[in-house]
Amino acid sequence: MAFKKHFKSVVCLLMTMLMLFSVVIGVSAAEEELVSTGASGTVYYENNTNWSSVYCYMWNGSGDQKNAEWPGQPMNKVSGNVWSYTTTTDYQNVIFNNGSGGTGNQTADLTFPGSGQIYNGSSWSKYTEPESSSSTEDSSSDTPTPTPGGDYIYCENAAGWGSVYCYMWKDGAGDNQAWPGKAMENIGDNIWRYEVTGNFNMIIFNGGSDSQKTSDMQYPGGNYIYNNQKNEWKPFDTSPITVKNFAIDVEGTVYKNMDITVSANASSTGGAVAYKFSVTNGSSTTTLKNFSTANTAKWTPTATGTYTITADFKDAAGNTNQRTLKVTVADDSGIAEPIIKKVTPAAGEVKNNTNMNIAVTGGGGKVGTNLLFYKYTIKDANGKVINVPYYSKLGSYTFKPTALGNFTVTVSVQNSHNSIIERTFTYNSVVNPTTPTESTSEKPTTNPGPSNILGDVDGDGILSVMDATRIQRYNAQLITSADLNLKLGDFDNDGLVTVIDATKIQQKLAGM
């Protein structure tokens, strides 16, 4: 009997030890799955938030080992909205940011999955090099394919390094000189240059030490300049024509059937500058505006895809220059966020004391009720709001400028989940416009006599949103009874002129 008790005790002890051993193994395995061992190489970030610059902050453990102090090292723009950063040290964690911290300025703390991976703001995937560009795309201001040596490369020392060095290399083929590389030549205006005499595909600018250096970057070829503060490449101009600006007026994503204004500004020692604008999609090129002194052009893409907008510059002496800009056009048919596709007129001169109609085409808003709501805020030259802004389903608004000078109209478009997009347009109220006034409903030059149209409180002979606005201003005590026809303002015939009458007018205009 004693033997049986002893045997049972031994068995229980062995089973207890086995259970403990299993727990230890399980915990160890779980720890191995949760803790990254770290990795080096190149990491990519898809900058869908359109940050002007992107930084990569990497660290291990509690942060004792990191690639730099916050916000980390600047990333290099590869093409489109893809940025890269290369590290030779193994790191476990990474944060992408725009140089600041907080919501909207950085990603969450991420586990670095290893070289060759790209993060798109929500998930990691394997990065695939884009296909070779066409000859038209090769002239883009994006970083081009590396070219053999024999050219100058430039650095704009905006970061204020005491001296600038250029370190270049090609894997398996050596470097231009041992770190920190070759000293660059200061040619004035804070511009430094180095003549490339070898065939390299990678480059680092530095101040002579590890504490002052750029990230590992692809060599873009000769006659490019790098700003070591903004962390961006640009073509280095040798032309007498200086291009000061080339851009489109839409920030963020461009959508199909959206009106785009392309603008440029340049000066030259060779006389007046003429501008030409064109757009290329695949093998098809369309001229938006031929050479003239006008420095803007209109473009409305009718199909999705990747386009290259080209600005050509030519001065009176025959000197030329060129800039290109890549634009990706998307489809808005299924997006939730509201967008503004078209505003007519979008700018220009308008006739003073004459009714002006602004027509707006919105898009997106595919969420909830799928409805879009519009608001118009009008300010005079002093910045004073001169109407009563409110949201409605009307994609147009009529008002009358009663003073000369510039005024602004801010168009707000809201979806059913209260997301809002706004754009502001400037108009110049003059006595006699030199350009045609679009979409206006002018008051007759002869006096038609008192209006008998119910709701036409401003007496212009038509029922419009202006009448509803005037009733609202009256109820807000911004104007007096002398400024409107109270008899015609009683739209619901209840003996009072209230905001309900304004609402009834808006409903009638909306066909409700």
Task: Give Cα separations from 157 to 163, 176, 187, 228, 349 (angstroms).
Answer: 9, 21, 11, 6, 43
**pTM greater than 0.75 (yes/no):** no
Comparison of pLDDT for 177 and 348, the residue scoring more: 177
Residue 71 structure tokens: 């916000």
Secondary structure (3-state) at 101 = coil
Q: How would residue 15 be classed by pLDDT, with cut points 50, 70 and 90?
A: low
Alpha-carbon dihedral sign for residues 420, 424, 425, 428: positive
**How far is the C-alpha of 265 from the C-alpha of 246, rounded, in Å?**
7
**How far is the C-alpha of 113 from the C-alpha of 117, rounded, in Å?**
7
**How far is the C-alpha of 472 from the C-alpha of 497, rounded, in Å?**
9
Residue 285 structure tokens: 């090129």
Contact criterion met (CB below 8 Å) for 347 and 423: no
pLDDT of residue 409: 93
Alpha-carbon dihedral sign for residues 411, 416, 418, 420: negative
Q: What is the DSSP letter of 437?
A: P
**How far is the C-alpha of 192 from the C-alpha of 181, rounded, in Å?**
14
In the chain, the domains with their CATH numbers are 39-126 (2.60.40.10), 143-235 (2.60.40), 241-330 (2.60.40.10), 338-430 (2.60.40.1220), 444-512 (1.10.1330.10)
Work out the burial of residue 373: count CB atoms within 10 Å of its CB; fewer than 13 is exposed, 13-18 middle, 19 or more buried. Answer: buried
Q: Select from 476, 404, 419, 487 the least CA-distant residue to 450.
A: 487
Q: What is the largest CA-CA distance in the chain?
A: 126
Residues sharing a CB contact under 8 Å with residue 220, sequence separation 6 or more, in sequence order: 143, 144, 146, 233
End-to-end CA distance of the chain: 96
pLDDT of residue 14: 58
Highest mean pLDDT among 1-10, 298-307, 502-511: 298-307
Q: Is the pLDDT of residue 36 over 70?
A: no
Task: Give Cα separations from 35 to 42, 95, 107 (angstroms).
Answer: 20, 17, 20
Lowest average pLDDT, out of 342-351, 373-382, 430-439, goes to 430-439
Containing 138, the helix (H) or strand (E) segment is helix 135-138
**How far is the C-alpha of 56 from the C-alpha of 474, rounded, in Å?**
56
Q: Is the peptide bond before 450 cis (omega within 30 degrees of 0)?
A: no
Q: Is the pLDDT of residue 445 over 50?
A: no
Write out pLDDT tens, residues 157-213: 999 999 999 999 987 778 899 999 999 999 888 899 999 888 888 999 999 998 999
pLDDT of residue 19: 55
- pLDDT, mean of residues 261-273: 91
Write out pLDDT tens, residues 61-113: 776 788 888 888 888 877 778 888 888 788 889 999 888 777 778 898 899 98
Residue 410 structure tokens: 């801010």
Containing 255, the helix (H) or strand (E) segment is strand 254-255
| % of the chain at pLDDT higher than 90 | 30
Residues linked to residue 422 through DSSP beta bridges, in sequence order = 412
**How far is the C-alpha of 436 from the C-alpha of 347, rounded, in Å?**
11
Write out pLDDT tens, residues 101-158: 777 788 988 999 888 899 988 889 988 876 543 333 333 333 334 434 457 899 999 9
DSSP secondary structure, 140-200, as one string: SSS------SSSEEEEE-TT--SS-EEEEEETTTEESSSTT-EEPEEEETTEEEEE--S--
Q: What is the DSSP letter of 404?
A: S
pLDDT of residue 479: 77
